[in-house]
Amino acid sequence: MARYHGHPMVIIGPRIENVEGLSPEECANAKSIVENLGVSIEKRGYQDVFDEITSADAGNGSSSALGNTLPVNQIPGVPCEECYPVTVVLASGDDPESQTGLPHSLRRLRSQLIRCIGTTKVVILVTDTWETNVVEESLQDLSAHEENGVLVLLLLAVGNRLKPHPIDQ
């Protein structure tokens, strides 16, 4: 089985490729982001990568720290009026008061998914914490969006690795 920076490629690649309505370019964009994040976190650790991407001057082009080849919606980030097929969410910690903590990031994601219904096809959610009691208020909403064709990829940063994780556990 091919290894993909700590998690099997057979899990990530086909899931992205099977998203209905996602163009080949957007599929490549989502894969590029996951691959770049995996490599960067493996080399530098999640906190360094998180700090770089969430800094005000991180950029959003193909040379951005995300590694995207097309524009994406990013949380946290400057709110954008445009809706794109790929949304990237980065969260650190579970402090409900922190603007970059998982609870706040999930609230922003839920709002983004409602605002961009029909456009958002893939959510790449990267976090260093995932406790069911912390995310409980978001689980039904995320499941509903998945039932409507949005792929929610939860990637848990553990040490210097990204590991796929089911959203309901």
Is the predicted pLDDT of residue 11 greater than 70, yes or no?
no
* Mean pLDDT on 75-96: 88
What is the spatial distance between Cα 100 and Cα 76, in angstroms, rounded to a whole number? 6
Greater pLDDT, 168 or 76 = 76
Mean pLDDT of all residues belonging to the chain: 83
Higher pLDDT, 50 or 12: 50
In order of 32, 90, 101, 108, 111, the CA distances from 64 in angstroms are 11, 15, 22, 22, 24
Section 103-119 average pLDDT: 93
Confirm whether 139 is domain-assigned.
yes
Residue 21 within any structural domain of the chain: yes
Is 64 part of a structural domain of the chain? yes
pLDDT higher than 80, residue 113:
yes
Task: Let me know if residue 160 belongs to a domain.
Answer: yes
How far apart CA 97 and CA 124 sit, in angstroms, is 22
pLDDT digits (tens, 9 = 90+) for 44-68: 999 999 998 888 555 454 446 788 8
Residue 78 maps to a domain: yes
Domain that holds residue 96: 3-164
Bridge partners (DSSP) of residue 88 are: 74, 124
* DSSP β-ladder status, 151-158 and 3-4: unpaired
Our count of domains for the chain comes to: 1
Q: Is residue 130 included in any domain, yes or no?
A: yes
State pLDDT tens for residues 124-161.
Answer: 999 998 877 777 778 888 888 888 999 999 899 998 88
Average pLDDT over residues 111-130: 93
Mean pLDDT of 83-106: 91
Full-model pTM = 0.88
Write the pLDDT tens digit of every residue in 21-38. Answer: 999 999 999 999 998 898
Structure tokens, 96 = 């409900």
Answer yes or no: is 169 within a domain: no
**Percent share of the chain, pLDDT over 70:** 87
**Number of CB atoms found within 10 A of residue 79's CB:** 12
Query: Which among 61, 38, 63, 65 has a CA at the least distance from the CA of 51?
Result: 65
